[in-house]
Amino acid sequence: MSETVQAKVLVLGGGPGGYVCAIRCGQLGLDTVLVEADRLGGTCLIRGCIPSKAIIQRAGQFEQMAAVAANSCTGISLTAGPVLDLGALVAWKDGIVNRLNSGVAALLKKAKVRVISGWGNFSDAKTLHVDTKDGSITIQAEHVVLAAGSRPVELGFLPFGNKIISSSEALDLQELPAHLLVIGAGYIGLELGIAFRKLGSRVTIIEAQDRILPLYDRELVAPVAKWLKSHDMNVHLSAHAKGLAGEALVVETSDKKTIEIEADRILVTVGRQPNTSGWGLENMAVDLAGRFVNVDSRCATSMKNVWAIGDLVGEPMLEHKAAAQGEMVAEIIAGNRRSFEPAAIPAVCFTEPEIVSCGLSPAEAGPDAVVAQFPFVANGRALSMDAGEGFVRVVARRDNHRVVGIQAVGEHVSELSGEFSHALAMGAVLEDIAGTVHAHPTLSEALHEATLRALGHAIHI
């Protein structure tokens, strides 16, 4: 069977950028077709953000129950420690993914978006040929939105397969590895490495740079490094994986010595790369910027009425950036004037403890900035949750007190990211946050106190 479809908007990719764009197009009355070769939801929903956070959540509960069984100093005791059934845990995780996947499909249907399942290949900038289980479909559209996402970077000397796994396979393991070796101490490697350590694996980290989480400043990373050390996670910094020798990974250490490390699984987390091949980008006359698709502030490419969003267009490769760009592009196609110029895009690292960074760091703000922080050890809510490690930090201009950055490290601080982003987006000054009544007892009080401290009159420190 062969079919030709005419559409106002064609969206390639059903991840968080693509499906949000398609839904918004439908809401705006635009005839829209979305093409997805895999499952709706993309990397974040199917094999990234959502499933990893589900595993991280349960790993934390497992660790807490084990701690209570070993020490009942809080007045609660267990007669035995928890027992892990990793297969059942993964099945529970899959249930959450399936429910959200079905929800995305329902939302697209509600917005009257036609979803075509199959692999697409562009013959020119506005014509896509899709191989589906029922035959070939040719789609011709006035506007094309490229939202093909990204994939894990594979090391040439350690191709994925057998014991060498990416984050996707790590989230589907049916048996807990006795020893997990993680190559890369960025946020993906540490999030998963910490989760598996909590579940009972022995974990070793190999990182080529001289510190973990190199995208964050040392002060934010210090509590995470402390946790790794206290939980006997072996971290090799300034070290380089060289390949396999039998079943062992050959590693060149910081002192140029070579060691061999045996592990049940080797998790490679050395970054992600945009999906720019395999679907005919080379036939679209679209300019590239290095390995990314080149776009302007409206996410327009060099080809008229061809747009690109999300991981395809550069860092940061984050779900919320892709979704915001997708919504914006839909509104531009509908005739609205928009541009993607956010005051800041928050980044969250779900390590132990969590890290949030929004806006400029103290180093980026320069010597004329006012910097103040408030420790969670002085926050009543944090202490009541046994979460006194970490702090909230505020960075502001000295001359007009405009807040240009807010960071935090501590348990559950990811939930503060919205307030951080909102303050920067609204152009808040220190006095704005200081004059906002924050509920007690909450972790958000630490932001209030950090702001007061920046103004020279903190109350609780």
Q: List residues with catalytic annotation.
A: 440
Q: Is 240 helix (H, G, I), strand (E, B) or coil?
A: strand
Instruction: State the DSSP code for 125.
Output: T
For the chain, how are helix, strand and coil distributed in percent, rounded to 5? 35, 30, 40
- Least Cα distance to 150 among 56, 345, 13 occurs for 13
The token pair at 33 is 């077709």
- Cα angle 349, 354, 357 (rounded to 5 degrees) comes to 60
Q: Is residue 16 within 8 Å of residue 148, measured between CB atoms? A: no
Which among 96, 99, 98, 104 is positioned nearest to 17, based on CA atoms?
104
The CA distance from 194 to 60, in Å, is: 9
DSSP H helix total and E strand total for the chain = 13, 24
How far apart (Å, rounded) are the C-alpha atoms in residues 27 and 367? 47
Question: Around Cβ 289, how many Cβ atoms within 10 Å?
Answer: 10
The DSSP code sequence of 389-434 is: S-EEEEEEETTT-BEEEEEEEETTGGGGHHHHHHHHHTT-BHHHHH
Q: Computed over its alpha carbons, how large is the radius of gyration of the chain?
A: 24
Query: Is the preceding peptide bond at 152 cis, omega within 30 degrees of 0?
Result: no
411, 354 in Cβ contact below 8 A?
yes
Which among 26, 34, 4, 15 is positioned nearest to 117, based on CA atoms?
34
DSSP class of residue 437 equals P
Interstrand relation of 369-375 and 391-397 (parallel, antiparallel or unpaired): antiparallel
List, in sequence order, the alpha helices (H) in 200-256. Answer: 218-230
